[in-house]
Amino acid sequence: MEIAEEIRGRVTIVSARGRLDGDTSSLFGERLQQLASKPEPRLLIDLSGVSFIASAGLRVVMAALKKVHAAKGDLAVCAVKGPVREVLEVTGFTTLLRVFPERATALKHLSMSEA
């Protein structure tokens, strides 16, 4: 798994590429937790490069969401493709997370939202 970060205004974009499974989710989760620890974090998780997500991957995203909300921040997910989107839908994560079809729309929302 590859993880990349980019800052756009007040929003930190975390892009993952590869599989988000039991072997790779701990590294991804650690980074999300660090970013979520900032005051009023605004995180965008770009999953366009993720080909597979397991329950361990779902757990790290949920843990980050909880931490971001506790810090009065905001978190969204964007560009989720095929099988990964199906997993998010079947598990009900699309009702818990804001999922945007593309990065630009998510960035606009996160940049303008109140924490």
- Alpha-carbon torsion 36, 53, 15, 4, what sign? positive
**70-106, pLDDT tens digit by residue?**
999 999 999 999 999 999 999 999 999 999 999 999 9
3-state secondary structure of 1: coil
Distance, CA of 28 to CA of 16 (rounded, Å): 8
Q: Nearest-CA neighbor of 17 among 74, 113, 63, 84?
A: 84
**21-62, pLDDT tens digit by residue?**
999 999 999 999 999 999 999 999 999 999 999 999 999 999
pTM value is 0.94
